[in-house]
Amino acid sequence: MKKIVALVTGGFTGESVVSIKSSAFVESQIDQTKFEVYKVVILKDEWYYEDEYQIKYPVDRNDFSIKPGENKIIFDVVFIMLHGSPGEDGKLQGYFDMLDIPYTSCDALTSSLTMNKGYSKAIVNGIPELHIAKSIQLFENSEKTPTILLTNLKLPLFIKPNNGGSSIGMSKVKTSEELPSALDKAFREDTQVLVEEFIHGREFSVGVYEGKNGITVLPATEVIPSNDFFDFEAKYTPGATEEITPGRMSEEEKANVERIAKDVYIKLNCRGMVRIDYFLQHETSKFYFVEINTIPGQTAQSFIPQQVKAAGMVIGEFYGELIEKALETR
């Protein structure tokens, strides 16, 4: 008998447009002979399932069910493909935990903690051979802020919303004159902002997941953006970034990255698939942790599908493995 899957998408933030694209790709790849998939859209003002005739059926939030016909549909498992809040910050995970419905992502606590870039770095700090750029976490933006930053950190700086994703509100600042506008941009997206020193190195992103063979690290993607850094435009505009999968690393670098990535996954108590962004510093090849994404993008341009293919796997089977692993928790 087919397992009934709710593919959850939408969201409360500007990342909802990315969520819709990601869920469309996932839906097109999931093996329909094994799983019966219903795409459920969660927005601030409504939760609904929309059928092929564009008819919307509301979600009963008491038990997360839908009734598109005579029979109520109860889901066996939820495939969370919702970037930002409430899918990436732990809110939905807590809701599904109360309803005892398994899901494909990290649990509520891990999701909430990793949504905060500063807190994530504090937790992984101490993993052998993992390095963290010097940074300051801001909780307000005042006239004194630029002076404080320039006194304690060295230019260039990365300025980003602490709880954001998809590089929305992020800036690279090379001069002191650029600081005020970059801070304003970041604070428009979040009440907390992370400012960190720029690491001169090669940029990579690597997928990690737990499946039938335990924790697996996928082939990393090397990121060479045409822009000054890997911003929203570079992420989601085809051809705007050169992406090399597998990334160019020596065998020693690969082994080091794989070990550190597994340690990050374990220390943060991750589940399902995550994506870890990092730099390998020029000359030293030191691993600098940037951030972890617990609901990685799954658009046609996204890293995880590239890496799954590079690992010799079929993306639909990969998604199926995530679903089966989630079902084991029931």
Give the separation between CA 201 and CA 274, rounded to whole angstroms: 22
Q: Beta-carbon neighbour count of residue 263 at 10 Å?
A: 17
Task: Provide the CB-side half-sphere exposure for 58 (13 A, CA).
Answer: 5
Look at strands 241-244 and 193-197 and give their pairing. Answer: unpaired
Q: What is the pLDDT of residues 147-191, one digit of tens each?
A: 999 999 999 998 988 775 546 788 999 999 999 999 999 998 888
Residues (pLDDT < 50) of the chain are: 166, 230-232, 234-236
Tell how strand 171-173 and strand 201-211 pair up.
unpaired
Helix spans in the chain (H): 16-29, 91-99, 108-115, 117-124, 145-152, 179-187, 232-236, 251-267, 303-310, 315-327
pLDDT, position 296: 96
Strands 171-173 and 221-225: unpaired
Contact 246, 110 (CB under 8 A): no
Q: How far is CA 70 from CA 64, 66, 127, 193, in A?
A: 17, 10, 54, 49
What was the pLDDT predicted at 48?
98
Q: Rounded CA gap, 172 and 195, in Å?
A: 10
Q: What is the pTM of this model?
A: 0.89
CA distance 97 to 244: 38
* Count of residues in the chain: 330
Find all residues with CB under 8 Å of 221, minimum gap 6, and list them.
204, 205, 206, 243, 244, 245, 246, 247, 303, 306, 307
Per-residue pLDDT reduced to its tens digit, 54-104 = 999 999 999 999 999 899 999 999 999 999 999 999 999 999 999 999 999
pLDDT score of 182: 94
* 3-class DSSP assignment, residue 111: helix
pLDDT at 231: 47
Number of helices and strands in the chain (H, E): 10, 18
All domains of the chain, ordered by start, with CATH? 3-105 (3.40.50.20), 135-197 (3.30.1490.20)
Please state, rounded to an integer, the average pLDDT across all residues of the chain: 92
**DSSP notation for 24-43:** HHHHHHS-TTTEEEEEEEE-
What gap in Å lies between CA 4 and CA 72, rounded to an integer? Answer: 12
Instruction: Check residue 161 and give its pLDDT.
Output: 86
> Rounded distance, CA 130 to CA 116, Å?
18
Q: What is the pLDDT of residue 232?
A: 46
Rounded-to-integer distance, Cα 166 and Cα 240, Å: 15
β pairing state of 130-131 and 201-211: unpaired
